[in-house]
Structure 1
Amino acid sequence: MLGVRLDTDLEQRLTAVARTQGRSKSDIARDAVRRYVELHDEAYRAEARRQSLRAAARDGGEDWAFLEAVESEDGAWS
């Protein structure tokens, strides 16, 4: 469970959007948070992959084992 405080203007705008779309404010907030997390999680994973590849090239490939283990965990990179 998460409680979020919004300033008056933003809450009024959110209420208007929710009413227009026939959705609840919670549905819209949940969707917005999900999109934000997905965007930033993907950016984090891309940076981790970039750093692993760079280190592997520098160190002769020892980091490939780590990268492959992470990839096999969730299959998110390919």
Structure 2
Amino acid sequence: MLGVRLDTELEERLAAVARTQGRSKSDIAREAVRRYVDLHDDAYRREARRQSTRASARASVEDVVFWQDGAAWR
């Protein structure tokens, strides 16, 4: 469970939207948080994928030789 404090103006605006839409303030807040998290989680994953792809592209012949030599240590 999560409790959130809103300033008076934002709480009144939220209440007005909730009344207009026939929904609860909690329902609207839950949807807003879900959208925010989805947006930022997706952005984080895209950046991680971009960095991984970039790092893979930088792999050099020396890296390949290093890992092949390491296999001989086993």
Structure 2 unaligned residues grouped into runs of 5+? 64-74
Task: Answer 1 or 2: higher relative contact order, Cα 8 Å, separation at least 6.
Answer: 1
Match of 2:8 in 1: 8
Structure 1 unaligned residues grouped into runs of 5+? 63-78
Helix, strand or coil: the match of 2:58?
helix
What TM-score, normalized by structure 1, do the two folds share? 0.76
Runs of 4+ in 1 over 4 A off after TM superposition: none
* C-alpha RMSD over aligned residues: 1.2
How many residues are treated as equivalent by the alignment?
61
Match of 2:58 in 1: 58
What TM-score, normalized by structure 2, do the two folds share? 0.80
For the pair shown, the structure with the greater C-alpha radius of gyration is: 2
| Whole-angstrom CA distance in 1 between matches of 2:26 and 2:18 | 9
Identity %: 80
> Which runs of structure 2 are paired with 1:33-48 in the superposition (5 Å)?
33-48=33-48
| Whole-angstrom CA distance in 2 between matches of 1:40 and 1:59 | 29
